[in-house]
Structure 1
Amino acid sequence: MLRSLISLLALCACACVSALAAQPATVRLDYLHSGNALDEHYAMERVVIEPLPWPGNMAQTIDTTNRGNNLVEVVDAKTGKLLYSRGFSTVFAEWRSTEEAAHMNRGFQESVRFPRPEQPVRVRILKRDERNLFSVVWTADVDPDAMDVIRKPPPAPVKPIGIRVNGPSEDKVDLLIVGDGYTQADMKKFEAAARRLADHLFQVSPFKERAQDFNVWALALPTEESGVSRPSTGVHHASKLGARYDIFGSERYVLTTDNRALRELAQYAPYEFIEILVNNETYGGGGIFGQFSTAAADNDWANYLFVHEFGHHFAGLADEYYTSPVAYATGGARREPWEPNATALHDPANLKWKKFVKDGTPLPTPWPKQAYETASRAYQKERAALRAANRPEAEMNTLFRRDLAQSNALFSPDPHRHTVGAFEGANYEATGYYRPEMQCIMFDRSDAFCSVCADAITTIIDLYSHPASR
């Protein structure tokens, strides 16, 4: 049985490679994004023709979802015809909301990828303005036939593993699971973690119902020592992708700022989305829309971390919690968020998810907010004490279980437990922002997405998969 399954996967992988051969090449524009809280700049670094053909559906090259802080547009240099677009967000945008950005400049590596055009193009990076509309902030002319374009990357250092292969890449959403902090001796452990977490993802709706629309690949470069850096505890490891804890001073925030290392490895597998598994047990993760997400593979809450952070990366979902400390500066005017699952509720009659709201539902929708916040303040105090004392991770996991049980007990008898409405408290703010339902994977460590988040995820699946293959 196992041999038959392996043979089937191998055949599917060959079919994917064969189908991809008809696709255009993949172009990657690497650039630098720098500045501070008030100013930002862009500079082209290089143009690369990646070794694998474009993995996406050429019938769906234009993004109409209106997600992300930024939008990339690729237009014909002569006619201005729009050839390709995708929304995305950046690590820079998060950093510039931190206190550090108020008094210093920093630069970040970024990339955009698009199918190789037949003619010179203009790549435009757009950014949301104060009206919540996109406006152009940078342009770069790209000629795929120019002499300085990199056309021959080095041979693949490792081969991707087909975790789930359901068809040609251009018909499917391609998810690449990348490992960081895994030694050569840890490779089987990484593959097992990738399979386990992918299996869990497709047990959660709406991914469960759309599992056949995905291919999942796994890839990892061995490191000299196990684990990634956690500077707040004096732990430093030279991992291949540079993923680490303590990003922007948040002990649980895990990202890599080495975009070059990530893209140079990822280019050897078909992908549109990336989740990085770090070889650590300490609770942590992160997710940037259209860039990548991360999760601590050995934590007791790895299933939740994988799905929650992928929700950010895949569908641009906002965090709906608001009592946990975050790395970014919050407060100020309550502008309407672009994220599909958070609102400032300026116009209740035109609530962005009103199609899910039943007539007569009060907006805002009442919930046991005060009792929740009282319990949450006590929980956060205990959580901070455990981290400050560097207590064993098992104690933190026990605290998380108790916190979720307390929330479930508080919410269970409430008449609006499963109501879609507008519940105040979201987007890191106790007031002024609202979430669609009382509970959701984006709010706490519960195990299901709310109706609005599930719909937002489905929209992205539809953007990247081919209807004829369903």
Structure 2
Amino acid sequence: MFARLIRLLVPGLALCAGIAGAAQPATVRVDYTHSGNALSDTYALEQVLIEPLPWAGDTTRSLDNTNRGQNRVEVVDAKTGDLLYSRGFSTIFGEWRTTEEAGKMSRSFQESVRFPKPDRPVRVRILKRDERNDFSVAWSVEVDTDAPEVVKKLPPAPAKPIPVHVSGPSPQKVDLLIMGDGYTQADMAKFEADARRLSKHLFTVSPFRERANDFNVWALAVPTQESGVSRPSTGVHKASPLGTRYDIFGSERYVLTLDNRALRDIAQHAPYEFIEILVSNETYGGGGIFGQFSTAAAGNEWADYLFVHEFGHHFAGLADEYYTSPVAYASTSTRMEPWEPNVTALRDPARLKWKQHVKAGTPLPTPWPKAKYEEDSRAYQKRRAALRAANRPESEMNALFREDLARTKALFAKQPHRHAIGAFEGANYEASGYYRPAMQCLMFDRSDAFCPVCQDGITDIIDLYAGKARP
């Protein structure tokens, strides 16, 4: 069925028929709820279903050795315990439980894991990081994908995927699905143009530029009645198929959907391993959860940056390297070594995780004009908050962002370690105790390039899905 769909969408592209080759198993999705608060959590099975399209991934690369994510899914043989499939991921619940609200109440979030259909009953295990930052089993459930209660008949696709950048059969490529939310039927041409524009920009940024042929990009949007998505803090509420909105966890710029079921039920009609949701809004905003999805406001002047930065979170598990902007998460006194590849607690400089990039003689920690940067940033954040409070035009916010970036570049320009890789204090939303690899990077501010350490982190994930780059 899917090979026929691809031929209809991309006439003459016989190359893609390999997506639905006989060897490709079906795609299994396990939907469950994840509930709890800051102190405890529980899981409960919702349903097991067989998605409409065959597994898009390479079945020879089923095991994840990158050690990324706050969680990990493992699919094991129910009888022998042999590991058949694994992937690291993080969750919205994992972020929410660090908020102030999680200390006062419990909430429930929808989650899903997907894997190639096994030929035997399996046990699906969800692991999470423990106090040593190692994975331990948090929940497991036995799944027989041939059982009568498994959902195997699903409604027809509400929209057809659009091929944006097709390099070859899905099993040998990374499949990125760009979804739209807040685009009306009249906006469909705009959505396709936004998806093409932003994916084209992604492939101008290293290492995506050098690995563009390892990607397929698809676009899919279900039309809305009104343009744009909800911004509750400004009294704007709009219905949309994915339920994407601003103001997640009280942060005016944080854009996510909490309706995982709606997201997966639409996404399942296109091949994908990663998702970026474009919202048809001008207001600055976005978000990204490793292994789940990322979002970006396609109508904003900084959409190129938002698309790539948030995709860095979702695709590679890159941490935010900034620390002066207000966030919804509560700070912690512990300084456990982060699992993210681009931040460190620097417990042992001799064993720095990116030491291969550090030149001999580079001091660790690495000096930078931290005090002056923080002074300037306090003034900038005050102006930013005032603009939002007064609901000023987005053009004024964009001008402030340009001014801030120019000031930072000027401050850093003549610093002796400007282009060094070291350990610069201030990262992961904390002014002290965490360190980033470079003075400036796309994960630190609105600059336009990833540092070498972030590039390595991205390359590891491309290799996991598409194999090592050929020389």
Distance in 1, matches of 2:31 and 2:9, equals 33
Report if the CA contact (8 A) 1:170-1:466 is conserved. no
Residue 219 of structure 1 corresponds to 220
TM-score of the two chains, using structure 1 as the length reference: 0.97
Distance in 1, matches of 2:109 and 2:14, equals 37
Distance in 2, matches of 1:459 and 1:25, equals 26
Distance in 1, matches of 2:317 and 2:88, equals 9
Are 1:353 and 2:354 an aligned pair?
yes
Distance in 1, matches of 2:182 and 2:17, equals 29
Overall identity of the aligned pairs, in %: 74
Distance in 1, matches of 2:244 and 2:13, equals 29
Which SS does the other structure have where 1:448 is aligned? Answer: coil
Report if the CA contact (8 A) 1:33-1:43 is conserved. yes
| Distance apart, 1:19 and its partner CA | 3.4
Residue 341 of structure 1 corresponds to 342
The runs of 4+ residues in structure 1 deviating greater than 3 Å are: 6-9, 11-15, 466-470
| Distance apart, 1:155 and its partner CA | 1.2
Residue 201 of structure 2 corresponds to 200
Report if the CA contact (8 A) 1:171-1:469 is conserved. no
Report if the CA contact (8 A) 2:19-2:56 is conserved. no
Within 5 A, what are the aligned runs for 1:17-166? 17-22=17-22, 23-166=24-167
Distance in 2, matches of 1:390 and 1:267, equals 38
> Per-residue displacement from partner, 1:190-215 (whole Å, max 9, x unpaired)?
00000000000000000000000000
| Distance apart, 1:24 and its partner CA | 0.3
When the two chains are superposed, the root-mean-square deviation of aligned CA atoms in Å is 1.4
Instruction: Name the amino acid aligned to 1:16.
Output: C
Instruction: Name the amino acid aligned to 1:68.
Output: G
Which SS does the other structure have where 2:60 is aligned? Answer: coil
Distance in 1, matches of 2:455 and 2:58, equals 22
Residue 10 of structure 2 corresponds to 10
Pick closer, same or farther for the CA change 1:141–1:80 going to 2, 3 Å. same
Distance in 1, matches of 2:441 and 2:17, equals 38
Residue 366 of structure 2 corresponds to 365
Are 1:428 and 2:424 an aligned pair?
no
Within 5 A, what are the aligned runs for 1:380-395? 380-395=381-396
Are 1:293 and 2:274 an aligned pair?
no
Distance in 2, matches of 1:141 and 1:387, equals 49
Distance in 1, matches of 2:343 and 2:247, equals 26
Distance in 1, matches of 2:220 and 2:19, equals 21
Report if the CA contact (8 A) 1:12-1:167 is conserved. no
Which SS does the other structure have where 1:59 is aligned? Answer: helix
Report if the CA contact (8 A) 1:48-1:150 is conserved. yes
Report if the CA contact (8 A) 2:463-2:469 is conserved. no
> Per-residue displacement from partner, 1:8-44 (whole Å, max 9, x unpaired)?
9814755324432320000000000000000100000
Residue 3 of structure 2 corresponds to none
Structure 2: runs of 5+ lacking an equivalent: 1-5
Which SS does the other structure have where 1:313 is aligned? Answer: helix
| Distance apart, 1:316 and its partner CA | 0.1
Instruction: Name the amino acid aligned to 1:302.
Output: A
| Distance apart, 1:7 and its partner CA | 9.5
More deviation in 6-15 or 452-461? 6-15
Instruction: Name the amino acid aligned to 2:284.
Output: Y
Are 1:232 and 2:233 an aligned pair?
yes
Distance in 2, matches of 1:427 and 1:86, equals 23
Within 5 A, what are the aligned runs for 1:210-289? 210-289=211-290
Report if the CA contact (8 A) 2:18-2:170 is conserved. no
Pick closer, same or farther for the CA change 1:447–1:149 going to 2, 3 Å. same
